[in-house]
Chains A and B, each alone.
Chain A
Amino acid sequence: MKAINPAHVQAELDQLRGEPVYVHLETTNGAYASHREKGTLSAGAFIRNVQLTFEIGKIAGNGPYRIGLETDIGWLYAEGLTDWEKDEENRLLFAGHDHEGRLAAALELSRSPFPK
């Protein structure tokens, strides 16, 4: 992955407008967070292979970045994104890495389903 270039990302998001895409969306601070540090809440969520069609998709911020996708009945929002790539399968992969390189957030968009 490489550091996000918002102009390049915006161009890629524009290309996916109006067509169904599969989404992997995730946030995590790790299953061990509350074990390692008392008082910390282990919190996270992921959803994989939900399909949506967005009408407007934007990247915002000065880094770390935010991405918001508006659909006809709702929203997708991701915060803390630092790196991205368009992989060999033309999937858009975004990740937010903390200062130790650990993944804290992920947003991935693909025209075909992700492996389960």
Chain B
Amino acid sequence: MRKSECLWYSIVYVLFVLLIVFPVFYTLSSTLLPDTGSSSLLENLQLINKDSFFLLAKSSAIAFVIAVLTTLLGAVSGFLLFKTNVSFQGFFKIALLVPLFISPYILAVTWNDFFYLCLGNTDSLASYVGVILVLTSIYTPLSMAIIGNAFSNINAQLEEAGEIVADYRKVIFKITLPLVKPALLTSLALVFIFSISEFSVPAFFGIKVFTTEIFIQFSAFYNHSLAILQSTLLILLCLLLLLSEKAYLANAPFLSIHGRGIKTKIYHFYRWKGLSVSLLCFWFLLSVLLPFVALFIQSFQDGTAKFIQAFNLLKATFINSIGLAFAGALITIVVGFSAAYAAETKKRKSLIWLLLFVFAIPSTIFGISLIKFYNRAFLDAVYSSYVIILLGYAGKFSFISAKLIGNAIKQIPKSLDEAAQIQGIVPFRRIKMILFPLIMPTVFTAFIINFIFCFGELGTTIMVYPPGTEIIPIKVFTMMANAPQALISSMSLIVFFITLLIITVIYSLSKHYQNVNH
């Protein structure tokens, strides 16, 4: 690394470690290895009883079911949309992604309304099955995007070489699917971690899972030691999963993905075309259209009064929420790019590992770690301001941008940078003039995804928000317990429209940018 690159990387690295990683380590170690005078480690460990392990096992089982279901559905929809000539591909590619861009707690409300309208009650939804159903509908688009992207990156010649010697079914099952195994595993691991860390959906349905139990121990019983010990178990589980996935993929000979410019093999389904479209239509109806129609009906069942009331309640939160999400997404891009650039071009991977470590920590626990550390007089400037929320966003989502940007950097041939290097162009100019324009679409995508995640983040925010903070997720979630359903539905509908509006604006800006550059 040149001096200027090194300085930049060091600044980002030190800030991330000092402001985010250190507080987490400090809180975890001070709980696990307490000073004299408070309870000992042994006493603390005894707090984790059989019930804790049972609850963790149950939560893991639910997360596993969700991960398997989403990966299956994601693989099927990803295949149909990225590897076949199914009709209305463009529409489905965008429409089926909608649940991913909506906060989980809003999706929970939409499904609640849907069940209420269809069955007259929501008893069947307020169960483990309900949690599985709602989270599956939320995370299937994520799996679809990950696996679909992998499908479209397979070198067409590998499948064509199979077609010469075998029929298309054998080629799909023996060549195409095994080649996207890394994406399938990534989808399984990510959805498992998201699901087991998810707090808002089980909390909304009143279902006891490991994250809600941690929240209760922390907020209701003030049993911080137990909450953090339980968190440690969850962190270990998530890290174990991610490390096994990485270890498995590191030894597997799957490096078949081509660079840019080679076309993707498309399977032409003639007889199955109708069935394929029907399947996609059914999934669109079930996961997008019907729940949102139900939300709409619930919002306006008593006229527009509730909707207007909801708008007035949320009005004050718009600017704060959008501003914070924008700043949060920007920070995650800076941290993610620095980590990805160092890892992909300089083989310095320690920042990526730190990002992964923080990412694997469930939101609620991460929030607890931040407040326990920053709740001191001399750190009040962080504790009682929006900075603590931004730290939360940076910790939770920088890994996502690092992963996406890292993959984009991987696809840029080294020779492009080397050609500029030979001409004596300095590193910052090479990054600005060569690398950045080439990875700009991915940077935009990472920004949009992280903006949406920050905009709807609840697990960490609910732990760290300073008193008097007016942001959308907190406002909606705190009202969920007592406000009438129509008001909650209206608020959710407003959040849904704001999210769509923001996505459209950012997407149009990115398109405009790309057109200008071309």
Q: Do A and B come from one complex?
A: no
**B residues neighboring A (CB under 8 Å):** none
